[in-house]
Amino acid sequence: MNDGQAGVVIAGAGHAGGTAAALLRQFGYKAPITLVGDEPIAPYQRPPLSKAWLKGEADADSLMLKPPSFYAEAGIGLELGVSVVSIDREGRSVELSDGRRLPWESLIIATGARARSLPVPGADLAGVMTLRSAADAETLKAALGPGRRLAVIGGGYIGLEAAASARALGAEAVVIEREPRILARVACQVLSDFFTDYHRARGVVFEVDAVVEALAGEHGQVTGVRLGDGRVIACDAVLIGVGAPPNDELALAAGLECAGGIVVDERARTSDPRIFAIGDVSHRPLPLYERMFRLESVANALEQARQAAAAITGRPAPAREVTWNWSDQYDLKYQFAGLPFDADTVLVRGDPAKPKFAVFHLKGDLIQAVEAVNAPAEFMGGRQLIAQRRPISRARLADMSISMKEVAA
């Protein structure tokens, strides 16, 4: 790597940044690596924050990507509680929020996304929160417990997982959604109906087609959510889960190409070949679907960390992956792979009442995406078929007497 002295600076110490640092060492990178993160703690896993951790089934230690001693042992500089405030492309350095400057040979931007706030009156009341960081999760956990009432604004994964965890902790949960159905942006009608019923049966109340006008409060503390129809949903805490825009300001200011996320190629390179962008902040090619997209998932963060670490160390590009993700709610294992772009048919295999079923999104005879509930074989087989772009028989796919293994064979 050139003179080998300036090394790699990674802006952002989340799942993507932390993984890239560890992989660079695994791949034999010898020059300095510095990981810069604005949170006070070393890289950790975010998915459990709304799931196992929130329910008290996982401790803080188990969330850490690596033990604290790892970074010193691996010679990875950890700069925590500071952030990169600007990129000097010409001089190959970054400026930190404490005024220091770090030189780099390669720069990885892994600044992630941030929870979108809600532009309504009362959004600054105490008890109104978002869920992104471990600190956010601590605040949310403290607000949950028997007899407490949580209002969740936004019926996406985070909101539904938090509602399920709230119920497990004995709290009341109301989910308020702007669209006519929950998960409208990310899952099909069959799944929306299924999750609505499953949550309702466990005591979650839904308000769909609901506009939030304002958050009501007393003495600075939130006490309710006022809807467009004038009703006020009483609560002790509000969790806002309405999406996460990318933290791409650094890249924009540095003149890197952005389009709702930093534009990268298949090796996670930005429009400046010495600068990479990985994870939630990137707008990346999806070769299977012949388009660009911004993915928000751990699988994507890891895939791009592998791409960037391989490119920087001169390794061949890692194998292409099918995007996938998962969500745990109650005792349900929900796994999904691919994206339903251009799909013309929705095919259900199995029985939502069991509950064990999968929804396949087909474009002709090709599977574009699969959403599986308690159906790991359908998830795994579906993911394989998506990757292989192999045509399947719709009749066989719908026939439960033929195993998924045979369908995929």
Partner 1 sequence: MAKITYIEHSGAEHVIDVKNGLSVMEGAVKNNIPGIDADCGGACACATCHVYVDEAWRSKTGTPSAMEESMLDFAENVADNSRLSCQIKVSDELDGLIVRMPESQH
- List contacts with partner 1 (CB under 8 A): 22, 25-26, 45, 47-48, 62, 64-67, 70, 74, 298-299, 302, 318-319, 321, 324, 326, 328, 333, 335, 376-377, 380-381, 383-384, 405, 408
CB of 379 to partner 1, least distance (A): 8
Q: How far is the CB of 404 from partner 1 (least distance, A)?
A: 8
Nearest alpha-carbon partner for 1 in 36, 35, 29, 34: 29
Per-residue tokens: 109: 């931007």
Burial code (b: 16+ CB inside 10 Å, e: under 16) for 70-90 equals bbeeeebbbbeeebbeebeee
Structure tokens at 146: 């028997």
Q: Which is nearer to partner 1, 331 or 344 (CB)?
A: 331
Q: List, in sequence order, every residue forming a beta bridge with 151; answer none if it has no partner.
A: 174, 238
Pair 81, 249: CB distance under 8 Å:
no
CB of 7 to partner 1, least distance (A): 18
According to DSSP, the residues that pair with 227 across neighbouring strands are: 212
Task: Please identify, using beta-carbon distances, which residue of 333 and 363 lies nearer to partner 1.
Answer: 333
Residue 62 beta carbon to partner 1: minimum distance, rounded to whole angstroms: 7
Nearer to partner 1, 72 or 211 (CB): 72
Please count the CA atoms within 13 angstroms of the CA of 320 that sit on its side-chain side: 16
Size of the chain in residues = 409
Q: Which residue, 75 or 260, has its beta carbon nearer to partner 1?
A: 75
What residue type is assigned to position 231 of the chain?
R
CB-CB neighbours of 390 under 10 Å = 12
In whole angstroms, how close is the CB of 309 to partner 1 at the nearest point? 12
Question: In terms of CB distance, is 64 or 125 closer to partner 1?
Answer: 64
Name the region of 86 (left: φ>0; alpha: ψ -120 to 50; beta: rest): beta
Shorter beta-carbon distance to partner 1: residue 47 or 127: 47
Cis amide linkage into residue 316, ω under 30° from 0: no
Nearest distance from residue 320's CB to partner 1, in Å? 9
Q: How far is the CB of 342 from partner 1 (least distance, A)?
A: 25
Q: Which is nearer to partner 1, 38 or 328 (CB)?
A: 328
